[in-house]
Each structure stands twice: as C-alpha cells, then as structure tokens.
Structure 1
C-alpha cells in the first residue's frame, strides 16, 4: 500500500495519522452538542417546549457555521494548500469548543457553536484530500478508510465523556484535545500534486466555477445529495431520539448519549467494511448504493419496531449507524470527482454542505410536527431524503482507481 521511498512513506503515514486524529477531535466536538444538548440547556434554564425549540436553533447555528466555513476553508485549501487548512481549522474549532465550556447563557452558547462550526468545516475535507493525493489510485481508499474509522471513534468517546462528566467539562476536554493535536503540525508536509499545480496557469479554488458549468454543478450537487441520508439519521432520528422514542410508545425515554454512541460505534465498523469492500470489489458507486438501500430499510424499521422496547430502539440505532458507514467512501469520491485546482474546494465544502443542509431537514421536521405529529414528521422528511439521494447517486460516475493528477478546465 506504501511506496518503496521511505521519505514518501513517512509523509503518507504522518498525513493519515494527523487526518485521522484531527477527524477524531472534529467528530467529538461536532456531535458533543447532540449528546449534552438536554443537560446543558436545562442547566441554562430551558425547559419543556423551549428545550426542543432552543435545541433546534443552536443546532442550526452550528450547521450554518459549517456552511460558511466549508466555503472559506475549501477555497483556502486550493489557494494556500491542504496543510494550512488542516491545522488552521483544528486551531479554530479547538478554541471555540474550549470557550463553550464557559458559556453562561444560550446566546453565548450559540455563538460558540457557530464559530466552532466554521472551524469544524475544514479538517475532514483537507485531511482526505491530502491523504488521497499522497497515496496511489489503487490504494487511497485504505487511507481514507482509516481516517474515517478512527475519526468516528471520537463520537463514541464523546458519548462516554458526555455521560460521565458535566457538560462544561466535556467541552473543555474536546478543546484541549484539539490544542494538543496542533503539535503534529511540524511533521506534516504539503501534497506534491498541489505543489505541482501551483505552477499551472489556471484558476484555483474558484468556488463560483462550480455553478458556471452544468457538468461541474451536477457532479457537485449530486455528491451533496447522496450523503443526506446519513445526516438525516443523525440530525433527526438520533439527536431527537428521546422525543421520538417517547412518541413511538417507549415507557422509558431513550438517552440521546446512548443512541449517539450506538449509532457511531456501528458507523465506525460500517466505514471500515464499506471502505474495504470498495477496494476489494473495485467500485465506490455500487457499495454506496447497497449501504444506502439498507439504510432506508432500517429507517423504516425504526418507525415500525422502535417502540417495542428500549433494546429494539437502540439496536435499530446501531444498525442504521452501520449502514450509514458510506461516509468514508463518499468523502473519497468527493476528492476523486474534481481536478487538483478545485479538489479541496469540493472535498471540504461538500461534506459541510451536507451537514449544513441538515438545517433544512430539521426546519422541515420542526414545521411538520404541529401538523402531523413528531413521528410522521420525521418519516416524511426521511422519505423525501432517500428518494432524492438515490436519484443523485445515479448521476455520478465511478471513480475507483482514478488518477488525481489532473486539472479542471475553468
């Protein structure tokens, strides 16, 4: 999987290690809010209906930060380099998360989540782009598989920490982990493919160019829509599991921290299996289609069987997490779809637009609740998401084994 050049091997291993640990802290921070939402907001004085309404508003503030940060870091990644974005984003979200531990009201809580969202937007895309450009076309899937699998364990860690420590301490732990990670900055080098592209007389990091060509726009939009089922599951089914579980008929209200932990623990295995199968079968597209189909099946089961018992409910969260494990392959495909002069822009913005567009899902969910009830509202949103995602996948080309040393003609 590695070359015979020791220096190149060292650079590749360091890039994988940094990207993986960076995504670990990224994932910890990103989902910690879902885990401590109820406890933290109650501590700040929110109760009853205000708990759900304020919870959605703060989640949307974080997701809006992801949208803005995705554009900022993506463009910067193609203009200044993958390495600068990798560590710049880590620094921003670490400091914002640390500040979150000292929030004294919901306004400052939301402000910290917004700034953290901007910072969280850059790490994964920049890390996967750097790893993809350092590894061979046939083996890069293994590198991104490791990054995603290690990273997702950050959420499992967040679930455990959020369960055993007060919410302020949980945020402090995330911030300090990110600050410590900055020590790896010295050993990570820039992508040779990016350095070579610097001499080319072409536009780099032109975000608007994604909308000036139908070919680029259709690829970009399809990429985003393909991953929406993953964030439908975490943004609605798992984040609001206490409310949904109660509405489904469970006598004991599910704990969001446990639902998140089971979901992401399974997602870790799903990422590994998904990444391995995409390498073994030499296809990204068919693997995504298979896992997405299974995700639709288990989401239906969530509504039909989730109310039988707490065991059934958590088991379905686990199964949905496992089949949502095409996130690693999705980010790899995002990096493989576009040339070097737009690769970071796409690889950084696409995952964050997926995360950010979860705002539309949660808003639709919130608006439908008074009309049809919380369970039907979640079901309607999910049905639309899966139909659109399957159509979007049909519009993407296969990218396994593609040489990344090419430029987009702008």
Structure 2
C-alpha cells in the first residue's frame, strides 16, 4: 500500500469514528430526553400529577417497544443493504420524530411519537459499532469503539443542559442536531467487509438464523443478558429519582436532569477506563466482569444512602454511571461474536433488546415494589440481573483481536 493510500485510509477511518461518535451523541440525547423532561412534559400535556409515574412508565415502555422493532428492522437492513444506508435512514426518522414530539398536546400522541422515535433510534449504535469494528484493525478497533462511547454518551449531558430551556425546545434541538448529522454523513463510505460479501450467495441479515442453531442462539441470548443491568440502573435506579428520593428520605429535592447529567458523565468516564483496560489487558471479558461487579456495588451503596443531599446524590449518580460504563464494550463483544453476514443484525438488535428489556424489568420492579417496597425491590432486581449477566458472560468466548472477516453459514 502506498503512503497516499495509507493516509487516505487513515483519514476515512477517522471520519467514520467521528460520524459514529456524533451519531451516538444524538442517539443518547434523544433516547434520554424523555427521562429528563418526563414530569414537566406530561403535566404540560394534561396528565394528572397522580398519574405521572404510571403514564411515564407506559410511554417509556412503548418507546422501548419501538426500539425492539427498529432493532430488528435496521439490523436486517444493515446486513442486506449496507451499514451506511442504515445510518442515513435511522437518523432521518428519529430527527423527524423529534420535531413532531415538540408539538404534541396529549399523552396519546406523545406515546405514538415516542414509538416512532424509538424505531428510528434503534439503528444508530449497532450500525456505527459495526462500521468501526470492520474498518479499524483488530488491534485498534477497541480504541475506536471507546471513542464512540466517550463522545456519544455526552449527548445525555447536552440533553440535561438543553432541557432547562423547556421540554418542547429540547425536542426541537434534538431534531436539528439529527439533520446536521445527516449532512455530515454525506462523505462517509461503506465497510469493506460488507462490500466483500454483498454479492456472495450467502444468507445476509437473516434474523431467524440466530434461532436455528443452539450455539448461535446461546451466544445471542448471552450477549443480551450481559447488558441488562445497565438499563436497569439507568432506567429505574437513576431515572425514577423522585420516587427513590422519597424512599431514601432525601433532604433535598432531587433533579431528574442532574441525575441523568452526572450518571452519563460517569458512563462516559467509565467507558474510557473500560476501553483502555480492555486494550491493556487484551481482554474484554475480564473488564466486563470487573465492571459488572462494580455496578452492583455502586447500586448497593446508593440504596443504602438514606437522608440524601443533592451533592451526595450527584456523586452517587456519577459512581453508578461509572460502574455501568461498559455499554459500547458490551456491544463490541456482541458484534465480534458473529460473522459479517449477521454482524449488523446482532450489533443492532442486541443493544435494542437490552433497552427493550426495560419493559420486563420495569414491570417486574413494579410488581416487587407492591410487596417489598422501593428499596428492597431495588436490591432484589439488581441481584437477579447481575447474577444472570455474570453467568451469561462466562459462556461467551474472548473476542479481543479476533479476525472478523468470516461468514455465518446456516
């Protein structure tokens, strides 16, 4: 390879990492803006104060259902039509949904728009991680996904800041960011590995292939289970802060925006540390073990923190966020477990099935609360999810430095 060709390849790789990072930034912004403005926006569209918690959980679950549908849709399209087409399609859909979300005036319309936004959101992370993993060298792709994680997760911080200017304005800004990113992506290129298989006579993006072989299905299920604790921490322990604040006898009124802001700063820092440790130890599994245990410890500390002050709560949100800073590492592990003709399907569906698992987790948590209260239910659910994640991780093979240019044969 000539020096010019090598330099061009490097520039293209840097551009892809940048675009994937900013895509994840907008993805996280939009995904979490509802959690931040939940109470204010629902009250503004006419939901009674006593129904805010129940209605908020319902809308969140419908958004997660959209993510489940979108995860399958975009994942399959990514393997059939290409990773770049998914990045264009998904950003367009959820940008338009954001603009629409800023104009809703009822809980019913709010729900419909969040479903559409969820479908759009589902394509970003998986397609971005797949592109980065297939473009960078096997020794350095961990650095690429680490950058995607670190830059992208600051989208939550941006959402928390913008939300101070009004919930409708926050959705409009999210839509505008999506359109700007769409324009930036005009200069990106397709994965070389995908180009190598696009004309081959092999099944591509066949979602059902994941269920026709026991070993393949077991890997897929384990990839989903190792990520479940993260969304429980974010979607329940952190985002339901008014209810946990009461249960913990908080001295101050706790802010939903602050909880998301500090938690995602923690996730971003945790993602950098997680990625660097994986590169140093040359083991993604070892680092995942460490962070799964750490996340359980930080959850216990939080649930024991009675008489919370605002400052202590912010630190706890940061620590819990740091503990679950393994999000892109977990998605990278999933992408590296499967061949090129199924990689986008897996890398896109797995994180969205994890997000969608919040439907089951939240319903289980609500059922537990009825019998054991907020705090004890918090312990029980975290213990169950952590044990399942550790067992699932033990069943997966180490993928650091694995060659990815191969196919899954049905």
Q: Which residue of 2 aligns with 1:7?
A: 8
Q: Which residue of 1 aligns with 2:236?
A: 236
Cα deviation, 1:18-49, whole Å, max 9, x if unaligned, reads: 11111100100000000000110111122333
2:91/2:124 contact within 8 Å kept? yes
Displacement of 1:378: 2.5
Q: Which residue of 2 aligns with 1:383?
A: 383
Displacement of 1:4: 6.4
TM-score, normalising length: structure 2? 0.97
Q: Which residue of 2 aligns with 1:304?
A: 304
2:43/2:49 contact within 8 Å kept? no
Cα deviation, 1:191-214, whole Å, max 9, x if unaligned, reads: 111000123221000101101111
Q: Which residue of 2 aligns with 1:43?
A: 44
Matched position secondary structure for 1:115: helix
2:250/2:307 contact within 8 Å kept? yes
Separation in 1, partners of 2:369, 2:53: 12
1:3/1:9 contact within 8 Å kept? no
1:243/1:253 contact within 8 Å kept? no
Q: Structure 2 regions of 5+ residues with no counterpart?
A: none
1:306/1:312 contact within 8 Å kept? no
Does residue 19 of the first structure (1) align with residue 30 of the second (2)?
A: no
Q: Which residue of 2 aligns with 1:93?
A: 94
Aligned ranges 1:101-250 → 2 under 5 Å: 101-162=102-163, 164-250=164-250
Separation in 2, partners of 1:409, 1:331: 22
Cα deviation, 1:144-181, whole Å, max 9, x if unaligned, reads: 1111110000001101111x211000000001100111
1:302/1:316 contact within 8 Å kept? yes
Separation in 2, partners of 1:242, 1:205: 42
Separation in 1, partners of 2:333, 2:5: 26
1:78/1:341 contact within 8 Å kept? yes
Q: Which residue of 1 aligns with 2:78?
A: 77
How many residues in Structure 1 have an aligned counterpart in Structure 2? Answer: 408
Q: Which residue of 1 aligns with 2:63?
A: 62
Separation in 2, partners of 1:363, 1:159: 26
Q: Which residue of 1 aligns with 2:398?
A: 398
Displacement of 1:309: 3.0
Matched position secondary structure for 1:5: helix
Displacement of 1:233: 0.3
Displacement of 1:254: 1.1
Separation in 1, partners of 2:369, 2:269: 33
1:83/1:189 contact within 8 Å kept? yes
TM-score, normalising length: structure 1? 0.97
